[in-house]
Amino acid sequence: MKSPFQGSIKNNISAVTSLVLYAALFIAAARSPDLLPRKISVPVIRSLLAGEDRSILPVGYEFEPYRRFLPARGRLGFIMDFPFHPYGKTITQLYSAQTYFVPVVLNPNPGDPVALLYCSNRFIADQRLAETGYRLAAVLADGKGFAVKKT
Amino acid sequence: MMVLGPLLFAAGLGFLFLYWAAGNRSFSCRVFFLAVFSLPAGLVLISVLLFWSYVLAGPHAPLALFGLAYLAGAALLIAVVKRPLQEGATEGGGFKGFARLIFPSGLRCLPYVAGGMLLTAGLLRAGRFFLYSLSWDTHGRWDARFFWNMKARFFFRSPEAWKDMFTPVLEWAHPDYPLFLPATTAWGWLWNGRELLIWPHAVSIVFNLALVLLVVWFFAFRKATWAGLTAAGFLLMAEIHRVWAFTLMADLPLCFFIAAACAIGLAGIRERSGPLLFVSGFFTGAAAWCKNEGIFFIFWMILIFGGILLAGDSRPRAERIRAGLRFLAGLALPLSCVIYLKLFLAPPSEFATNAQGPARLITLLFAEPQKSGFIFLSFLNFMITPAYWNGLWYFFALALGVGLLFKRAEWRLHHGWSLAALALLMQAGYILVYHLTPHDIAWHIQTSLPRLLLHSAMPALLFIFDTLAFNLQTAGHETSS
């Protein structure tokens, strides 16, 4: 078995340099900080591994009360506290609702005959209905329900 | 069987595909190659079959998908059985040869033990973070939660109306994004008949493990497995990797495809193996099918490896052209999905819309030096953050310097420089994209830069160890497998 250090001086310098650099890479990796903040939830993991997903709320579950009124497919408007803006504060409401109601498509720029109304309270809902040209058709909760386009 | 069923099917299909493409040939660590790449290749194939099933069969797409998958498997099996093994293909490719690489005797085992310990520590840490993500990010991070899973639901819930995901009303959901991840997610859901929450996590684990094994394979191929163990451990211990590894977003699969394309492509160039270039082309196409950044990556791969084949290879011209065509042939299958999506389904990209015309393009690139300065500084600031990278980019700069000063002759022979070139070109491409973005630049950089740098870190990591690690082959320590 050949020693790695047999051979010319240049080869030996190269070998030593490579070993030093390899050791530096190794030490840099081994000293990596562990920034993990929280504990593991064993019940969640157990239910996921068992395929029992019902104990974990899906994204958009807050929109479940609307489901029985929706068609299997089609398009509805979506009215929330603020007009749609990609950097808007309430944008996750639209995203969650859309994810939950696929394949129904929710239009964030309401122009459809029927719209899903999801506002924080009835005062904001009234304001938004006036802005978008809709009238309240059904109430599910304070600021929430369905609206139809005014003719 | 919830998770194992779709995974085993994909692994079987991927194994047959890779064996048909390259498995009957003689090359180093052949069995290890098939073990590492079969499952990811199978998932790519399944996603391609799923996409075309939905395009061609519409409401009957799920049935068509399973029919096509079984047909493809049967066809590949027949082709594989009929194809003879190349002479020497079974020699040293088995587990004995692999074991000799992993467990050498005597003092030679020390770098293996050290690398193995680092890799084990990295795997344990990553495993703990995976369980933490499973507990608290069950639905994944932003893109996974709102875009990828939503598109997968269109595939799963409404085969008759799946194209509604491209409606202009859903412009905010990036309808021009490639569909590898939604298609792969839909595959597991269709197999089980329900939207299984654990399935996207299983896919995430597959690509994370495959990425680790890929790094080990690349250096085992180079007869320096100990460097592969340390490189894989280095990757797992980097905070940036852990942050993005289990988000269920498309970045980790893209990292795998990029690393696979680079590693297998370079191996194919060094071994003068056309079949390995075919597989490299396949994973290059998979990168484009995974994320839009992969489309840029295709250009860089063709530029670099095409350049090597044209100018840096001593084989006869006809042989080099054949090798290049094999790369393009492998690229074609996943790329066909990307082309169809971009031409017939998705609206134009927001970046293309923003940069219409040469005058507008020049304005965006050169008219705002402050914006350019901000972009360059952002790259620099993030790359030098020690807590995220374990100094990876410092080592990259060092490796570049060492290579330029001392290893140019070796580079001319073995083309290790191609990995550095790919990493730098990828970053150049991202800098270009930031100049063209229609979004607020600070917001765009804040939400995407870490992930983009992680993509280019894959060839950079391979380059660092390829250049700096002590090459035991010169001392004749490792025998060929």
Provide CB contacts within 8 A for B407, sequence distance 6+.
B416, B467
Determine the pLDDT at residue B160.
93
Interface of B with A in 149-188 (CB under 8 A): 149-150, 153-154, 157-158, 161-162, 164, 167, 169-170, 172-173
- The overall average pLDDT reported for chain B is 88
Q: Are strands A75-79 and A114-118 parallel, antiparallel or unpaired?
A: parallel
Contacts of B138 in chain A (CB under 8 A): 44, 48, 56
Q: What is the mean pLDDT of residues B330-356?
A: 84
Contacts of B237 in chain A (CB under 8 A): 29-30, 32
Q: What is the mean pLDDT of residues B291-298?
A: 94
Report the C-alpha gap between A32 and A37 in whole angstroms: 15
Instruction: Identify the residue with better confidence: A117 or B406.
Output: A117
Residue B92's H or E segment, with its range, is none
pLDDT beyond 50 at B473: no
Determine the pLDDT at residue B478.
39
Closest Cβ opposite residue B468 in set A25, A40, A107: A25
Closest Cβ opposite residue B169 in set A1, A87, A107: A107
Between the alpha carbon of residue A128 and those of residues A117, A140, B336, B339, the distances in Å are: 9, 17, 45, 42
Closest Cβ opposite residue A103 in set B161, B172, B474: B161
Among residues A103, A37, A108, A99, which one has the least CA distance to residue A79? A108
Interface of B with A in 210-269 (CB under 8 A): 227, 230, 233-234, 237-239
Instruction: Identify the residue with better confidence: B160 or A14.
Output: B160
Determine the pLDDT at residue B223.
77
Of the listed ranges A11-15, B387-391, B435-439, the one predicted with least confidence: A11-15
What DSSP string runs through B338-400?
HHHIIIIISPPPHHHHHT-SHHHHHHHHHS-HHHHHHHHHHHHHHHT-HHHHTTHHHHHHHHH
Tokens encoding B12 = 């079987």
pLDDT band for B474, please (50, 70, 90 cuts). very low
Instruction: Identify the residue with better confidence: B328 or B111.
Output: B328
Closest Cβ opposite residue A56 in set B132, B138, B406: B138
A49 in reach of chain B (CB within 8 A): yes
Determine the pLDDT at residue B130.
92
Between the alpha carbon of residue A60 and those of residues A81, B92, B185, the distances in Å are: 17, 54, 19
- Out of A8-12, B28-32, B346-350, the most confident range is B28-32
A86 in reach of chain B (CB within 8 A): yes
Between the alpha carbon of residue B116 and those of residues A140, B110, B122, B221, the distances in Å are: 60, 10, 10, 17
Instruction: Identify the residue with better confidence: B220 or B208.
Output: B208
CB contact under 8 A, A22 and B469: yes
Instruction: Identify the residue with better confidence: B87 or A92.
Output: A92
Query: What secondary structure letter does DSSP report for B22?
Result: I
A87 in reach of chain B (CB within 8 A): yes
CB B118 within 8 A of CB A29: yes
Instruction: Identify the residue with better confidence: B42 or A8.
Output: B42
- Out of B51-55, B234-238, B399-403, the most confident range is B51-55
A21 in reach of chain B (CB within 8 A): yes
Report the C-alpha gap between A65 and A96 in whole angstroms: 14
Q: What is the mean pLDDT of residues B314-321?
A: 86
Closest Cβ opposite residue B476 in set A2, A31, A35: A2
Q: What is the mean pLDDT of residues B445-450?
A: 89
A8 in reach of chain B (CB within 8 A): no
B162-197 per-residue burial string, b: 16 or more CB within 10 A, e: under 16: bebbbeebbebbbbbbbbbbbbbbbbbbbbbeebbb
pLDDT beyond 80 at A17: no
pLDDT band for B413, please (50, 70, 90 cuts). confident
Provide CB contacts within 8 A for B143, sequence distance 6+.
B247, B249, B250
Interface of B with A in 423-442 (CB under 8 A): 440
Instruction: Identify the residue with better confidence: B264 or B84.
Output: B264
Instruction: Report the SS3 class of residue B292.
Output: coil
CB contact under 8 A, A29 and B129: no
Determine the pLDDT at residue B111.
78
CB contact under 8 A, A87 and B440: yes
Closest Cβ opposite residue A36 in set B128, B162, B391: B128
Determine the pLDDT at residue B100.
55
**Can you give the three-state secondary structure of chain A, one letter per residue?**
CCCCCCCCHHHHHHHHHHHHHHHHHHHHHHCCCCCCCCCCCHHHHHHHHCCCHHHCCCCCHHHHHHHHHCCCCCEEEEECCCCCCCCCCCHHHHHHHHHHHCCCEEECCCCCCEEEEECCCHHHHHHHHHHHCEEEEEEEECCEEEEEECC
Determine the pLDDT at residue B476.
36
Report the C-alpha gap between B406 and B424 in whole angstroms: 20
Tokens encoding B129 = 């973070």
Contacts of A36 in chain B (CB under 8 A): 128-129, 132
Report the C-alpha gap between A121 and B92 in whole angstroms: 72
Taking the alpha carbons at both ends of chain B, their separation in whole angstroms is: 35
Best B468, B473, B479 member to test A by mutation, with max A CBs in 10 Å, is: B468
Provide CB contacts within 8 A for A59, sequence distance 6+.
A96, A99, A100, B139, B145, B146, B149
Domain ranges of chain B: 4-347, 354-470
Determine the pLDDT at residue B258.
97
B121 in reach of chain A (CB within 8 A): yes
CB contact under 8 A, B196 and A34: no
Work out the minimum CA distance from B395 to partner chain A, whole angstroms.
8
Best B136, B149, B470, B479 member to test A by mutation, with max A CBs in 10 Å, is: B470
Determine the pLDDT at residue B355.
58
Determine the pLDDT at residue B93.
47
CB contact under 8 A, A2 and B477: yes
* Predicted confidence (pLDDT) per residue in A34-53, tens digit: 766 668 888 899 999 888 88
CB A40 within 8 A of CB B137: no
A105 in reach of chain B (CB within 8 A): yes
pLDDT band for B239, please (50, 70, 90 cuts). confident
Closest Cβ opposite residue A18 in set B139, B195, B470: B470
pLDDT beyond 70 at B390: yes
Per cent of chain B over pLDDT 90 is 60
